[in-house]
Each structure stands twice: as C-alpha cells, then as structure tokens.
Structure 1
Amino acid sequence: MTLVLKNVREWSASNGAETTDFLIEDGQISRKEPEITAPQDATIIDGKGLLALPGFVNAHAHIDKSWLHRDWVSNHAEPSTQGCISFEREKRDELNIPSTQVTETVLCQMLAFGTTRIRSHIDVDLGVGLRGLETVAEAVENLQNAVEVEVVAFPQDGVIRRLGVRDLLEKAASTGVAHIGGLDPCLNDRDAAGQLDQLFEIASKYDCGLDIHLHDAGTLGHFEYEMILERIHAFGRQGKVNIAHGFALSTVPASRQESLLKELGEAGVLWSTVAPVGSARLPLQLMKNNSVRLGLVRMAFGICGRRTVMVICCVWLSSSLVCTDSNAMKNSPTP
C-alpha cells in the first residue's frame, strides 16, 4: 500500500508553522518533502496542517480486563491492593472477563487516541488459566495487528501461595510470551526468595523478560530491590528486568540511594511507575545520571470500584524515545 500524507507539521521541525508531505510505502516512511507528487496508485490524506507524531506507547496496561462500556459496579471491597484483587476476581465471571470483544474495544479506543504499541499485563491464575493470553492474541489478530501488544503473563494473585500458578507461568513462557510478571514478593506471597527464584528460573530457562510490580515502601521495598539485583546477576538477566511502580525508591536513605541507582543502571533495569498523591518525589536526575530508563505511568483510579478512570502518560528518560499517551476509560481496578 502506498500512502501520501500531505500538509502536516513535523513534530521535530524547528518552525512549527511549516508543513511537509510524507510518502509511506509498505508501512514505512520512504520520503518526506515540502511537496510530493503522489504516485498514481497512492491513497492521499490531507493532514490539514495538523501535527504528525509517531505512534504513542502505553508502557503499562491491563487490556484483558477493562470495564469499558460496562454497567456501573459499586465497590464493596477493602481499599487495598489485596482488596482490589479480590473484588476483581469476584466480578470478572459475571462481566465475562476476559473476552475478545472487551479487549478489542479497549484496543480500538487506544488506537483512536494514537496508541500503536502497548505493554500489557495479562492475568494468569488458577481461575482464568491462560485464557486471557489467548483472548488478547485473538483480539490483536482480529485488528490485523494494527497495534503491537507486548505481553506480560501476570500472576497478580500470587505465585507461591497459589499452587499451580508457577506451572501456568512456565507454560506461558514456553509458548513465547515476551515477559512474565510478579507482584510484591514479600507481602503478596510472603516468600520473597521463593517467588523471585521461581520467576528468575523460568525467565532464564525460556529467555524472556521479567516485569515485577513492587508496591512495598521503605526498608521492605529496598530489600526487594537488593534481592532482584542479586538474581539479575546470578541468572544473567541484565537488561531483561522492569520494575513497575517501585515506590520504595524515593524512601531509600540518601546514603544508599545513589549507589543503588548505579547498580540498577549497570544491571540495565527499566522502571515504570506512577506518581501517587503523598509519595516522596522520585530522584529523577539521579535515575537519568545512572542510565535508569523511566516510564511514567499515571493510573488515576478512584477507590477500587468507584470512578475508575485511567490516564496514561509515558515518558522514557535517558533514551531517544519520548512518548505520551493520554486517554480516559473505565477500567477494572488493578494494582
């Protein structure tokens, strides 16, 4: 397919008033000039002087379990991480989640706002098995791969405390998922070494990435960072680990913070986090100085089950990629 996109403003142009044309062949920009004569078989789109941007990146989503376009559901759960998880488990069968239709609806909404690449955490647990992974793959195929979805098989309800989840994660990894996930190894599984050892063993065996959600603050969170760093080196997973949220980084003592960030940067750890109300400010400059790439993700959920609106803002620092994605949707409350 040949496409000529005319009369658009290039986002990197020094003069924002100037417009240019893009010749796009087989999905790739092959030429850009102030005025391009369209080939005979080309489709022509008039950009009307609007700004042309690369596709947005959503660095942290849960596209398998959105409540977009669903009836309102009142919250009666405890307002905590575990309360949200339990409430979600209680309601998902009633709402037919996961389903291909739900996921397609979310992906179409994201595409409408310019998002073309997504990393999504797909629930893997004893109740749903690998069905979420299958529905997401089907939805992406139905949309003819208009959006690229990088999948994390996500054991939100625990690994150690739910016998059989490890086998599900290994099966997912063996089928080629990009990443497997983990959640709060201390507070969720009450066995940090056990959870992390199992996750790193699977990731090493199948050469997939790890995306570990950490909500624990203070000394406990700092302890989890050190355990993760130990296993990155022991299993040779440098550059293969992302920490999501990671609130404790802002509470690490100043005497240890810079050396910890140096270790994280040398291990190639990526970071994606929100900026919750009341939290200490992240040491952004120190992170940048130590090549810790950061994805900022604003997930503005009300108290679990109330006005659940998600807005994503992703900015990768210390790299050439700078992307934002802003869209609002009703979504299942999730850590």
Structure 2
Amino acid sequence: MTNTTLITNVRTADGARVDVSIAGGRIAAIGPGLAREPGVHIEDGADALLLPGFVEGHTHLDKTNWGLRWYRNEVGPKLTDRIENERRWRAQSGHDAGAQSLALARAFMEAGTTRLRTHVDIDTDAGLRHLEGVLATRHALRDVFDMQIVAFPQSGLLGRPGTDALLDGALAAGADVLGALDPALIDGDPVASLDLTFSLAQRHQKPIDIHLHEPGEVGAFTLGLLLDRVAALGMQGQVVVSHAFCLGALPERERDALLARLADLRVALLTTAPPSVAVPSLKACLEHGVTLFGGNDGIRDTWTPYGSPDMLERAMLIAMRNGLRRDDDLALAFDCVSSVAARACGFEAYGLQAGARADLVLVDADTLAHAIVARPPRKLVVANGRVVARDGALVQ
C-alpha cells in the first residue's frame, strides 16, 4: 500500500455506501464518491462491510502456547493452583514469552485487531524476563500494532518480597499500566495491598488495571476500598477493574450503589463474559453510565485451553452471556471490542472518521450483527494505513 490509498465501494454499519481515503496512516476522508486522484492506490472493497480495527482490552500475550503442541491441562481447581502450576511449567519448559507473544500478536492482527492491552507477569522467579520478551514484540510491530503493556503481579504484591521493586522496575522499563491482583484473597491485606499499588502508580504517573476475582461481599468490600482511593487521590478515569465478578452476584441494591460510584469516578470494567461465573451485566452498566469493555483473558495457556484472537468471537460471547439477540443489542457487544474498549484503555485517534488512525477491517457480511455471529474471514485488514492482512492471511 502506498502512502495514499483509496478504498472504494464499502458499506458502513448503518448501511451507507462510502469510499475511504487514507494518507500518512490516517483517514483523510470518508464518504460517497471520493475523487480518484492520479497516483493513488485503489483498493476495491467489492461491497464489503467496513468496520474499525478491533480492540483487545485484556489478554496475556506472554503466557500463550499459541502455535505450540497441545498443553495437557491437569491443574487443580483453585486460583493458587493455577498460579503455582504456571510458574513451575514456564520455568521447566523454557517458555519463551518473546516468541509466543509475537506469534499471538500476529494472529490478532490477522483477524483484525489493531490495538491491544496485554498483562505481563512480573515475578520474583522470572524477574522482568517476560516483560522483556513482550517489549521486543511491541518494538517489532510498532509500525502497525498499538500495544499497551500492564505490569502484572500474578502471584500478588505482598506475598513474595521484592515484587514491588520489580513492578517499579517494569514501569520504568516501559510498561504502560500497573496491574494488581485480589488484594484480599491473594494478598491477604486489602488495605496494605491497595495502598502500595496506588503509591507505585502515582510515583510513575501510570494508570491501574486490577484483576478482581473476589466474589460477593469480599469483592464488594475490596472494590469499595479501591474506589475510596480513586476519589482521595484524584485518579478518576485512570483505573480499570478487570473481571469484577462480585458485581454479577450482589443483590441489586448493593450492586447499583457500586455501579453509581464507578460511573461517578469514571472507573471502567473489563469483562471476558465467561459462562461459568457471575459477571457484571452489560445492560445494568449502560443504564448506570459505567464503561464496560471486553477481552479474552488468557488464550491457549496453562490456565485455559480456550480463547481466540478473533474479537468478533469475543463480541459474540459477550452478547450470548448477556442474552442479547436483537441486531441493535449485538451492536452494543461490538462496541465492547471497538470504540468503548479504545476509550477505556486510552487508545487515541480511534474510529471511522477523518483524522483517525487508519485501522480498518473489511468483511463479507450483510450487517454488523451478521459479522459478529458468522465471523467471516477478514477480506482486508489495514493497520496504521498499511494493509497487513488479506483474505484471512497476513501479508507481512
């Protein structure tokens, strides 16, 4: 693709037939019948549906076994079983976070994802090794793939001395966001854990994305403590709570009170919409003005055999988990892996409008709802103005 390109004969989700002019990696214009200037490269969209590049809001590129031989999962049922099993297996197998994160990132791009937030384990056994591998992947794809890295203490913050110093080093080395994990049930002291997390984030002027698996009243208590700190420290709009399973199980009155606080403090929620546990309701979040976006979590790793780098599939799973069947409701699920996810993560210049980064996906589908449920091969994927995939395969 040249520096100036015109994609013709495509349809937007609202049914409009348009052309898209791309220059310097940005959308220069979008509308019907754009002029064919001399020397401009023409891509015939052949009546395809035009979508913005997809956004993966929460995954773990460093953990994946994507493309490797099948991992036989015999891990125990507890969260700590999975944590300990993974640490042991990665050390024994020599799992290469650099090679594996690159393989999965390329698979995401092939399927239409152009922006991604990945959590990377920071561990007292591995140090910053996994981070270094993912930083190398980000550098390798820097011209086309917009990646945020979360420094994530998978074993908790307080239980393994030295973790806070490693997180400090990870943020200094290039991680964009500070992660955290279950301050009550993993760290055992939610006050101390949250105080240290917020102190680290403020020291580096970084946002926070916390895994909160804690159920019911325990999770609600931790969430309340977190919101207290957001308010006291002026970190409105800088915190994401991933999973937030407690919000799917609380009585409606208590849930709604927390949703109101989340909205007021502009704290976003991330859901993977798993079928096996209670999850925050998309409709309830929308009614209260809470931002809820989507992601896969782990993909084909020692935790789970499931997951896919296709964000249309994740949109479908979010829709199914929330009982969405109408075409307009399916569009809400797509927002969770596109515009809402971009806003929640802070990805700039996103969307299908002049001036936005030229991240585009073309699919053979009648409508957006059709694309979500059928998940056809991507006819064309454009990232930062460049064609990166054609007919379901990477071109670079």
Tell whether the 8 Å contact from 1:173 to 1:202 is kept in structure 2 after alignment: no
Change (3 A) 1:306 1:24: closer
Match of 2:4 in 1: 2
RMSD between superposed Cα atoms in Å: 2.7
**Greater alpha carbon shift after TM alignment, 43-52 vs 163-172:** 43-52
**Pairing partner for 2:175 from 177, 185, 204:** 177
**Partner of residue 82, structure 2:** 84
Q: Note the 1:245-284 alignment, pairs <5 A.
A: 245-280=243-278, 282-284=280-282
Q: 3-state SS of the aligned residue for 1:49? A: strand
Aligned position for 1:152 = 150
Structure having the higher helix fraction is 2
1:212 to 167, 192, 210: 210
CA–CA separation in structure 1 for the residues paired with 2:119 and 2:112: 20
Contact residue 243 and residue 279 of structure 2 kept, 8 A = no
CA contact (8 A) 2:56 2:296 kept: no
Give yes or no for the alignment of 1:119 onto 2:121: no
In the alignment, the residues of structure 2 paired with residue 308 and residue 123 of structure 1 have an alpha-carbon distance, to the nearest angstrom, of 19
In 1, Cα distance between equivalents of 2:250 and 2:261: 14
8 Å CA contact 1:79–1:304 kept in 2: the answer is no
Shift of the 218–161 alpha-carbon distance from structure 1 to 2, 3 Å rule, reads same
Q: How much has 1:303 moved relative to structure 2?
A: 11
Between stretches 50-59 and 137-146, larger displacement belongs to 137-146
1:128 equivalenced with 2:126 (yes/no): yes
Kindly state the Cα deviation for residue 212 of structure 1 after the two structures are TM-superposed. Answer: 0.7
Residue 188 of structure 2 is aligned to residue 225 of structure 1? no
Partner of 2:41: 43
Distance in 2 (alpha carbons) for counterparts of 1:124 and 1:53: 35
> 1 CA distance for matches of 2:77 and 2:254?
32
Q: Distance in 1 between matches of 2:100 and 2:229?
A: 37
Give the conservation status (yes or no) of the 8 Å contact 1:59–1:297.
yes
Counterpart code for 1:287: C
Give unmatched runs, 5+ long, in structure 1: 328-335
Normalising by structure 1, we get a TM-score of 0.87
Counterpart CA distance in 1 for 2:142 and 2:176 is: 20
Hey, what's the Cα distance between the residues in 2 that align with 1:93 and 1:170? 23
User: Residues 177 and 208 of structure 1 are in contact (CA less than 8 Å); yes or no, is this contact kept in structure 2?
Assistant: no
Return 57-66 or 294-303, whichever deviates more: 294-303
Q: Could you say which residue in structure 1 is the equivalent of 2:67?
A: 69
Is the deviation greater in 280-289 or in 172-181?
A: 280-289
For CA contacts below 8 A with separation 6 or more, give which structure has more relative contact order: 2
Instruction: Give the match for residue 333 of structure 1.
Output: none
Q: Which consecutive unaligned segments of at least 5 residues does structure 2 have? A: 316-332, 343-370, 377-396
Q: Relative to 1, partners in 2 of residues 1:182 and 1:66: Cα closer, same or farther, differing over 3 Å?
A: same
Q: Following the alignment from structure 1 to structure 2, what is the Cα–Cα distance between the partners of residues 302 and 150? A: 21
Distance in 1, matches of 2:44 and 2:87, equals 47
Paired amino acid for 1:123: D
SS of the equivalent of 2:7 reads strand
* C-alpha spacing 1:173/1:301, structure 2 compared with 1 (3 Å): closer
Alpha-carbon distance, 1:39 to partner: 3.3
Query: How many matched pairs?
Result: 322
Deviation string, structure 1 residues 60-114 (Cα, Å, up to 9, x no partner):
1111121011112222321222211122112223444343222111111001110
Q: Name the % identity.
A: 31
User: In the alignment, is the contact (CA less than 8 A) between 2:53 and 2:114 conserved in 1?
Assistant: yes
Match of 1:177, SS? Answer: coil
Report SS of the residue matched to 2:83. helix
Cα distance change of structure 1 residues 146 and 203 upon mapping to structure 2, 3 Å threshold:
same
Q: For residues 208 and 320 of structure 1, do their structure 2 counterparts lie closer, same or farther at Cα, with a shift above 3 Å needed?
A: same
Q: Do residues 138 (structure 1) and 115 (structure 2) align? A: no
